[in-house]
Amino acid sequence: MNSSLLAPLLLLAMVPLASAQAPLGARVETAPVPTSGDAADDPAIWVHPTNPSLSVVIGTDKESGLAVYDLAGNQLQFLPDGEPNNVDLRRNFVLGGQEVTLVTASDRASNRLAAYVLDPVTRTLSDVTARDITLGIEVYGSCLYQSPFTQRFYFFCTSKDGPVEQWRLFDDGSGRVNALHVRTFDVGGQCEGCVADDGTGYVFIGEETEGVWRYGAEPTAGTGRVLVDSTDGGHLEADVEGLSIYYASGGRGYLLVSSQGDNSFAVYDRQAPHAFLSSFTIVANAGNGIDGVTDCDGIDVTNLGLGSAFPGGLFVAQDGSNTGGNQNFKFLDWRDVAAAANPPLIVDSLYDPYRCPDLASFAYRDGANPPILVNQSLPRLGSSWRIDLDCSGHASGVALVFGYARPGSGIFTGAGEVLIDPQSARLFRVGAQHLGGTATFDLTVPLDLVFCGMPAHVQGSCWGAPARELSNAIDIVLGF
Ligand code: CA
Ligand code: CA
Ligand code: CA
Ligand code: CA
Ligand code: CA
C-alpha cells in the first residue's frame, strides 16, 4: 500500500471515538428514601397533562414502599406498601370510564403485581388492585407495555431464575385493575430491568450478566429474540440494570441502559438494529453540591419538556451511594445528555406518543423495484389514506397492497425486492381488480390516538401476465 495513503488512515485510527464516556452533573437530587442500605431502586416519570411544571417522579424504596417527588426533589408522598422493586406507569389507561395514570410495581414482599392510580390534583398514589395478583415466578423487575396493534395494556415481570411472565391488565368492571396471565418465556439467567416500546411493539430485557435482549412484546410473539448489546465485548459491564425509552417524533428515539458495572449509561438507536450511539457517566456537580451516581439500578427518561426546571426533557437515575443520606434519585437535564454525545442526540421536547401533536408523513423507498405505488394523501387519523398502484403493462389481474410493522430489504424474489419485514406484524392486506391500469386504494385510518406516531411499511404487487411484480415501498407514520 502507498504510504501516503496509509498515514492519514493511521491518524484517523488514533482520534478518540465518540465511545468515550462523557461526565455529566445532576441538576437536582431527591430527598433520601426512608430505608438505609440498598433500598432505592427504580424511578418512573409522570408528565402532568396541563401544567408540565407539576410533573412528578415516582421512586421505589424496595424495602418499604413508593415515594412521589416533585421536580425539585421534594417528597410529596411516601406510600408504605410491601417491597416494590420496580415501578412503571402509563398515562392513558381507562378505568371506570375515565382516563387515568396507571402505576404498577413488582412487590417482592408478597410476590404480586401491585397497581395504583396517581391523582393528578393531589399528586398522590392510591391502590387500585382488584385482588391479590400473585405471580407464578419469584418477582423481581417489571415494566408496562401498551400494544400499538390492539391497544391492550400488559405488565411484564422478570425473575432471578430467568422466566418472564406477561399479564394483561384490565378494568374489572368496578374501577379496579385486574390481570390475566397471557405468556411465560425464559430468558435463561437473572433478569431485572425491562422496558417496552409502545410504538414498535418490542420489549427489551436486561439479563444482568449477559446483556440486553429484544423480544416481541405481543403475547403471541413467541420466543425469538435479538441480542441488542452484550457485556462480553459490547458497551455494557455487568450488571445490566435499568432500561428506558426516549420517544421522539417519526419513530425516532433511543434505548437507554444502566451499565452498573462501570457506572455508565449507554444510549442506542430506538430503531433496529439499535446501533450504539454514546455513553455517559454522572459525576459530582461542584456547582450545586450534588454528588455523582454510582451502582445505579433503575433509570427513566422523558423527551417532554417539564416547564422551566427541565424544558428539554428529564433523565432520572437511582444513586447507589448518596453523599448526605440514604440512597436517592438524581435528575439530569436531557439537553446535557444530548449535547454530550457526538453527534448530539435529538432534543424533541414536544412530541407526546400518547397525545399526537405530530403530523402524518410518508416517504418513498424504491429498493430494486419500479416506483409504481404512489401516495395520494396523508395517513391522518380519522381519515381515508389514498394510494394508487399502477399495474399498466400487466394483463388484468389482482392488485394487492400490504402494510407491515417493520421495513425490510435484501430479499429478492422473481417478482422483485421484498421491502417489508415478513417476520413483523402484518397490519393490513387489501386486494382489488386492476384492468391493466391503476388500482386506487382508500384505507381507513382509525381515529384513535393510540395509532399516533405508529409507523407502517407498505408495498404493493401487481398480478397478471406477463408476471407478478412487486412495487416500491411507502413508509408512513400515522398522525394528524
Ligand atoms: Ca442496588
Ligand atoms: Ca439487579
Ligand atoms: Ca435493582
Ligand atoms: Ca452518589
Ligand atoms: Ca447527595
pLDDT of 356 reads 66
pLDDT of residue 7 exceeding 60, the answer is no
Ligand of minimum distance to the alpha carbon of 295: 1
Q: What is the pLDDT of residues 108-163, one digit of tens each?
A: 999 999 999 999 999 999 999 999 999 999 999 999 999 988 889 999 999 999 99
Mean pLDDT of 399-404: 97
Q: Minimum-distance ligand to the CA of 35?
A: 1
pLDDT in tens, 429-452: 999 999 999 999 999 988 776 677
Q: Ligand 2 centre and the CA of 239: distance in Å? A: 7
What's the CA gap between 416 and 468, in Å, rounded? 9
Residues making up the chain, counted from first to last:
480
3-state secondary structure of 128: coil
CA 94 / ligand 1 centre spacing (Å):
34
pLDDT exceeds cutoff 80 at 13? no
* 117, 139 Cβ separation under 8 angstroms: no
Residues with CB in 5 Å of ion ligand 4: 291, 319, 321
Residue 3 pLDDT > 60: no
Instruction: Tell me the percentage of the chain whose pLDDT exceeds 90.
Output: 86
Whether residue 349 contacts residue 303, with contact meaning beta carbons closer than 8 Å, is answered with yes
The SS3 of residue 450 is helix
Given the C-alpha cell 395494556, which residue does it identify? 153
Quote the pLDDT of residue 12.
40
Q: Are strands 407-413 and 397-404 parallel, antiparallel or unpaired?
A: unpaired
Centre of ligand 5 from the C-alpha of residue 53, in Å: 23
Kindly tell me if the per-residue pLDDT of 19 is higher than 90. Answer: no
The answer on pLDDT for 17 being more than 80 is no
Q: 70 C-alpha vs ligand 5 centroid, how far in Å?
A: 16
Ligand 4 centroid – CA 118 distance (Å): 29
Q: Residue 41 C-alpha to ligand 5 middle, in angstroms?
A: 16
- 434, 435, 436, 439 alpha-carbon torsion, rounded to 10°: -30
CA of 41 relative to ligand 3 center, distance in Å: 5
| CA 254 to centroid of ligand 4, rounded, Å | 25
How much distance in Å is there from the Cα of 87 to the middle of ligand 4?
Answer: 21
Q: How much distance in Å is there from the Cα of 297 to the middle of ligand 3?
A: 4
Question: Cα of 315 to ligand 4 centre, how many Å?
Answer: 16
Give mean pLDDT, residues 184-202. Answer: 96
pLDDT at 16 over 60: no
DSSP 215-261: EE-STT--S-EEEEEESSSSS--SPEEEEEEEE-GGG-EEEEEEEGG
Ligand 5 centre to CA of 323 (Å) is 4
User: What distance in angstroms lies between residue 402's CA and the mean position of ligand 5's atoms?
Assistant: 55
Q: Residue 436: what are its φ and ψ, rounded to 5°? A: 75, 20
Average pLDDT taken over every residue of the chain: 93
Query: If you measure from the C-alpha of residue 122 to the centroid of ligand 4, how many angstroms do you get, rounded to a whole number?
Result: 30
Give the pLDDT mean for 49-71: 97
- How far, in Å, from the CA of 191 to the mean position of ligand 2? 7
Mean pLDDT of the region 349-371: 85
Task: Give the DSSP letter of residue 436.
Answer: S
pLDDT, tens digit (0-9, with 9 covering 90-100), for 307-326: 999 999 999 999 999 999 99
Q: What is the pTM of this model?
A: 0.76
Task: Retrieve residue 248's grid coordinates.
Answer: 421522539
For residue range 224-254, list pLDDT tens digits in order.
999 999 999 999 999 999 999 999 987 889 9
What's the gap in Å between 455 CA and the centre of ligand 5?
A: 42
Whether pLDDT at 383 is above 90 = no
In this structure, of 5-14, 158-167, 176-185, the range with the lowest mean pLDDT score is 5-14
Question: pLDDT at residue 6 above 60?
Answer: no
d(CA 195, ligand 3 centre) in Å:
14
- Ligand closest to Cα of 40 equals 1
Around ion ligand 1, which residues have CB less than 5 A away?
38, 297
CA of 260 to the centre of ligand 3 (A): 10
Q: Which ligand is nearest to the CA of 298?
A: 3
